[in-house]
A and B are shown apart, each in its own frame.
Chain A
Amino acid sequence: MTALVLLVPALPLLAAFAPLAGVRARGLGIAIAAGGVGALACAIAVAVDVGRHGAYSAFSGFLYVDALSTFFTITIALVVTLAGVGSIAFLRTEERRSELDLLQLRLYTIFFALFAGLMLASLETGNLGLLWVLIEASTLASAVLVGLEAKARSLEAAWKYIIISSFGVTMALVATLFLYYAATPLLLSPNQRLTWPALFAHAHLLQHDSLRLAFLLSVIGYGTKVGLAPMHTWLPDAHSEAPSPASAMLSAALLNTGMYAIIRFQAIALPELGRYTNRVLLVFGFASIVIGALFMVRRGNFKRLFAYSSVEHMGIISVALGFGGLLGVYGALLHTLNHAIGKCVLFLTSGELVQRWRTRESRDVSGALTAVPLVGGVLLLGSLAIVGSPPFGLFLSEFTIIRAGFRGSSLLTFLLLALLVIAFIAFVRSTAAMATGEPHAVDEETTARMSPASAIPLVAGMAALLLLGLWIPGGLNELILHSIGAIR
Chain B
Amino acid sequence: MLAQIESLSAASSSGVLLDLSAVVMLLCAFACLGSKLFDRYVTYYALQSIVLAFAAAVVGHALGQPDLWVLAVATLLIKGIAIPLATRRFLLDRLELHRDVAISTGLSTSLILGAALTAFAFLAIRPATLPHALVASAVVPISTAIILLGGLCMVVRRHTIAQLIGWLILENGVFLGAITLTATFPFIVEAGIFLDLVAAVLIMITFVSGLANRLATASSPELRGLRH
A→B interface (CB under 8 Å):
62, 127, 129-130, 132-134, 136-137, 140, 143-144, 147, 150-153, 155-160, 162-163, 166-167, 170, 173-174, 177-178, 180-181, 184-185, 190-191, 194, 207, 209-210, 213, 237, 241, 298, 300-301, 304
- B121-155 vs A, CB cutoff 8 Å, 1 = contact: the mask equals 00000001111101000000000000100010010
Q: In the complex, A163 Cα to B189 Cα: how many Å?
A: 22
Binds A, one of B6-14, B21-29, B52-60, B176-184: B176-184
- B195-211 vs A, CB cutoff 8 Å, 1 = contact: the mask equals 11001100110011011
Q: In the complex, A432 Cα to B208 Cα: how many Å?
A: 39
Q: In the complex, A160 Cα to B218 Cα: how many Å?
A: 12
A residues less than 8 Å from B134 (CB atoms):
184
Q: How far is the CB of A166 from chain B (nearest CB, A)?
A: 6
B18 at the binding interface (Cβ < 8 Å): no
B residues less than 8 Å from A152 (CB atoms):
211, 214-215
- Can you add 13 more A-B contacts, CB < 8 Å, to A155-B211, A181-B131, A190-B184? A129-B192, A137-B192, A144-B203, A157-B226, A160-B226, A163-B164, A166-B167, A167-B154, A170-B170, A170-B171, A177-B178, A184-B131, A300-B228
B120 at the binding interface (Cβ < 8 Å): no
B189 touches A127 (CB 8 A): yes
Q: How far is the CB of B206 from chain A (nearest CB, A)?
A: 8
Most buried by B among A159, A180, A191, A213: A159
B203 touches A136 (CB 8 A): no
Q: In the complex, A156 Cα to B219 Cα: how many Å?
A: 10
Known: A130-B188, A173-B193. A160 touches B223 (CB 8 A): yes
A residues less than 8 Å from B177 (CB atoms):
174, 177
Q: In the complex, A85 Cα to B74 Cα: how many Å?
A: 42
Q: How far is the CB of A466 from chain B (nearest CB, A)?
A: 34
A residues less than 8 Å from B225 (CB atoms):
153, 156
Q: How far is the CB of A191 from chain B (nearest CB, A)?
A: 5
B residues less than 8 Å from A130 (CB atoms):
188-189, 192
Q: In the complex, A48 Cα to B208 Cα: how many Å?
A: 46
B160 at the binding interface (Cβ < 8 Å): yes
Closest residue of B by beta carbon distance from A192: B186
B223 touches A156 (CB 8 A): yes
A147 touches B129 (CB 8 A): no
Closest residue of A by beta carbon distance from B125: A213
Q: In the complex, A156 Cα to B225 Cα: how many Å?
A: 9
Give 4 nearest A-B pairs by CB, closest first: A129-B189, A133-B192, A190-B184, A152-B214
Known: A147-B210, A159-B208. A298 touches B174 (CB 8 A): no
B215 touches A127 (CB 8 A): no
B189 touches A136 (CB 8 A): no
B199 touches A140 (CB 8 A): yes
B110 at the binding interface (Cβ < 8 Å): no
A155 touches B131 (CB 8 A): no
B163 at the binding interface (Cβ < 8 Å): yes
Q: In the complex, A301 Cα to B228 Cα: how many Å?
A: 7
Known: A127-B186, A209-B128. A163 touches B211 (CB 8 A): no
A194 touches B189 (CB 8 A): yes
B90 at the binding interface (Cβ < 8 Å): no
Q: In the complex, A155 Cα to B151 Cα: how many Å?
A: 22
A167 touches B170 (CB 8 A): yes
B residues less than 8 Å from A178 (CB atoms):
181
A residues less than 8 Å from B132 (CB atoms):
184
Q: How far is the CB of B84 from chain A (nearest CB, A)?
A: 18
Q: How far is the CB of A278 from chain B (nearest CB, A)?
A: 23
Q: How far is the CB of A258 from chain B (nearest CB, A)?
A: 16
B93 at the binding interface (Cβ < 8 Å): no
B residues less than 8 Å from A159 (CB atoms):
160, 204, 207-208, 211, 218, 223
Known: A140-B200, A163-B154, A181-B181. A153 touches B226 (CB 8 A): yes
A residues less than 8 Å from B182 (CB atoms):
177, 180-181
Q: In the complex, A163 Cα to B210 Cα: how many Å?
A: 15
Known: A140-B200, A159-B223, A180-B185. A173 touches B174 (CB 8 A): yes
Q: How far is the CB of B83 from chain A (nearest CB, A)?
A: 14
